[in-house]
Amino acid sequence: MIELKNISKNYSKNRVLDNISLSIPEGFVTGIIGPNGAGKSTLIRIISGFEFPDRGEVRIFKKSVNNFYQRKQYLSYMPETMFIYPEYYVGEFLDFYHKAAGFKDDDLIASLSLKKVSQKKIDHLSKGWHQRLKLYIALCNTKPLIILDEPFDGFDPLQLKEILNLFRSQRSAGRSFILSIHQLSDAQKICDYFILLDEGRKIAEGTLEDLSNRFLSNSGSLEEIFIKALER
């Protein structure tokens, strides 16, 4: 679905991404995994078209697409930090959003339980509810690829289970996901394909089974696999 060839990115004299090549399969929930500063968000923004690499090429569905406007037809992107008008009530904002987007998804509103907070101001939402509103904006469309940067901050374990079920239903409807995650336990619950980054380098990619076999993991734990990958 997505191919990256020799992607490198510098900020001033700092190398943030170092010659990354990878293939992201269609129909999976792919997790881009790594500690803070590994280059996850930069890689996500380059895939989405919000940033340009200094070197390398991004191909989506075998087509070379060079900027965000070309990629909009294929993908929806939710950044880690997203400004939503704080003085709007949730219901008021959703009405405005539906008119602007020309699209509404009542089933998705129900899945995210957003009617419960429709009379609350966005500025008064907890982090978890704010994340739900951001997820609605990212998912309220018919695009095949959803890219989310750190989407699970603010969710407790029960809420995370709800979101996992939502992702499964969306994937069953033909969508693919790329997620940037730093919590390995969350990634193992949610993702079925993994790209491991450290200090701007790709150190491994594959399914959990592939990675367990490659790094001789007895437990099948993503944390154990990641530690072994770092030690190589």
**SS percent in the chain: helix, strand, coil, step 5:** 40, 25, 35
pLDDT in tens, 41-58: 999 999 988 899 999 999
Strand partners for 197: 202
Its CATH class, for the domain covering 2-85+144-231, is: alpha beta
Q: For residue 40, what pLDDT is reported?
A: 93
Say if residues 65 and 71 touch (Cβ distance below 8 Å): yes
- Map out the domains of the chain as residue ranges: 2-85+144-231
Beta 75-78 vs 145-149: how paired, if at all?
parallel
**Which one-letter DSSP state was computed for residue 36?**
T
- The one-letter code for the residue type at 33 is I
Q: What's the pLDDT at 133?
A: 95
Residue-wise DSSP of 144-167: SEEEEESTTTT--HHHHHHHHHHH
Write the pLDDT tens digit of every residue in 171-186: 888 999 999 988 888 8
Flag residues of the chain having pLDDT under 50.
none
pLDDT score for 36: 85
- The predicted pLDDT at position 67 comes to 66
Asked if 176 and 26 touch (Cβ cutoff 8 Å), the reply is yes
Instruction: Tell me what the pLDDT averaged over the chain comes to.
Output: 91
Q: What is the value of pTM for the model shown?
A: 0.91
